[in-house]
Amino acid sequence: MTTAHAPAKVILFGEHAVVYGRPAIAVPVSQVRACAVVDDAPKGQGIVIHATDLKLQQQVGAPIITDDPAYPLEATVRHTLERLGIEGIPDLTLTVSSTVPMASGLGSGAAVSTAIVRALAQHFGRRLTSHEVSDLVYQTELIHHGTPSGVDNTVIAFERPVYFVKGKPIEILHVGQPFWLVIGDTGTRSPTRDVVGDVRCAWQAKPDKYEALFDRIGTIAVQAREAIGAGEVRALGKLMHENQELLQAIGVSSPELERLIGAARAAGAMGAKLCGAGRGGNMIALVSPEKAQAIAVALRKSGAVNAIVSEVKLPQSVNGKQASL
């Protein structure tokens, strides 16, 4: 039996604009994780996938349609076996579970895919680099989201805070001083593919307007990288407010998100904004550690179905200010 895990993620700055070549900042969230377990199976079984959260069982190779919930799981398995050079269909049972909320901006699909890739590689005694894992997971992200930015698979596969620009070398984000977030879940599912598609249609209809909005969001991400590196935590709060106003202008906020963002600010958060695709899913609040639990309680009282407290810091294994991965 082989077990592997992968964390969730949140985008701090740069949602939507990152799809159009502007920078984004994202960090892993280890408090919720996906898990994949691979067991050898009786000869002739082939590969059977058990997805406990989706309440499904799928035989790899059985007839499947592309909008079936099992399709991304099977595609991840097939792509990984191909990368590992495994010919044919081995006899395995793959059990997948996750505490990452689905369709909520926390990278649930990428977390599950990453756990699957790692578990299969480890089961066959192969080592895949984080780059290779990220590339494999990106293939599944294309199925989930249509036009993904690449942020989710990157930050989850590397499990590092990252500064990301599509098509450019990824940078580990230097964190000058640890800071704390409270992540509030509206309970409203928000399929990334749909929201990203709507924004693309709006951009095509009014390219000048949206390019200007994306430019301003990109500028905020650059300023946030400088503030994070310098340990200027309070400066991030103002940048969050500005980023949220631009996301409102893009049309991806929602009454549920606005209610939680307002509740966090009223309870003493330094800043708050939606995270991920928007129109539901999660929001994030920048908080002092002393106020974190009180703000989490305030979010729940305002309708959040869950609130996660997470610390952002540079892993001890990474030294220096910035490094390309």
Is residue 155 pLDDT above 50, yes or no? yes
Tokens 């050079």, residue located: 85
Q: Which of 39, 67, 135, 152 is catalytic?
A: 152
Task: Catalogue all structural domains in the chain, each as residue range(s) with its CATH number.
Answer: 2-164 (3.30.230.10), 174-324 (3.30.70.890)
Predicted local distance difference test score (pLDDT) of residue 313: 84
CA distance 189 to 211: 27
Active site residue 152: yes
Predicted local distance difference test score (pLDDT) of residue 170: 80
Q: Which amino acid, one-letter code, is at 271?
A: G
Q: Which pLDDT tens digit goes with each residue over 239-265?
A: 999 999 999 999 999 999 999 999 999
This prediction's pTM: 0.84
Rounded to the nearest 5 degrees, what angle is found at the Cα of 82, between the Cα atoms of 77 and 91?
Answer: 55
Query: Given pLDDT bands bounded at 50, 70 and 90, which one contains residue 171?
Result: confident
- Please give the share of the chain, as a percent, with pLDDT higher than 70: 94
How many Cβ atoms are within 10 Å of 230's Cβ, its own excluded?
A: 12
CA distance 230 to 168: 23
Helix (H) or strand (E) holding 63: none
| Residue scoring higher pLDDT (62 or 265) | 265
Is residue 318 pLDDT above 70, yes or no? no
Let me know if 58 is exposed, middle or buried by CB neighbors in 10 A (0-12, 13-18, 19+). buried
